[in-house]
Amino acid sequence: MPSPSRKAHMATIDLEKHFLAATEAAAIAAASWRGKGDGKSADGAAVKAMRAVFDNVPFDGRVAIGEGERDDAPMLWIGEPLGSMQGDPSALSIDIAVDPLECTNHVAKNLPNAMAVLAAAPRGKLLHAPDCYMNKIAGPTELNGEISLDESTSYNVEAASSALGKKESELNIVVMDRPRHKNLISELKDHDVNVVLIGDGDVSAALNAADPRSHIDMLMGIGAAPEGVITATALRGLDAPFEGRLVFKNEGHRERAEKMIDGDIDRLWLRDDLCSSEDSLFIGTGVCPGRTFGVEELSDGRYSVQSEIIDVASGAHRFVESIRSM
Helices H / strands E in the chain, number of each: 10, 14
User: Same domain for 140 and 95?
Assistant: no
Question: 73 pLDDT band (50/70/90 cuts)?
Answer: confident
231/205 Cα distance (integer angstroms):
10
Q: Which residues pair with 136 in a beta bridge?
A: 221, 244
Query: What's this model's pTM, rounded to 2 decimal places?
Result: 0.95
User: Same domain for 80 and 180?
Assistant: no
pLDDT of res. 236 = 98
User: Where is the domain boundary, 233, 248, 274?
Assistant: 274
42/190 Cα distance (integer angstroms):
39
pLDDT digits (tens, 9 = 90+) for 285-300: 999 999 999 999 999 9
User: Same domain for 286 and 254?
Assistant: no
State mean pLDDT over 146-161. 98
End-to-end CA distance of the chain: 27
Nearest residue to 119 via CA among 61, 55, 45 = 61
Secondary structure (H, E, C), 7-50: HCCCCHHHHHHHHHHHHHHHHHHHHCCCCCCCHHHHHHHHHHHH
pLDDT digits (tens, 9 = 90+) for 297-315: 999 999 999 999 999 999 9
Residues 67 and 54: beta-carbon distance below 8 Å:
no
Range of the domain at 68: 4-126+279-324
User: Where is the domain boundary, 274, 290, 314?
Assistant: 274
User: Same domain for 120 and 154?
Assistant: no
Instruction: Please state the φ and ψ torsions of residue 140, each to the nearest 5 degrees.
Output: -80, 170
pLDDT beyond 60 at 216: yes
User: Same domain for 36 and 85?
Assistant: yes
pLDDT of res. 72 = 76
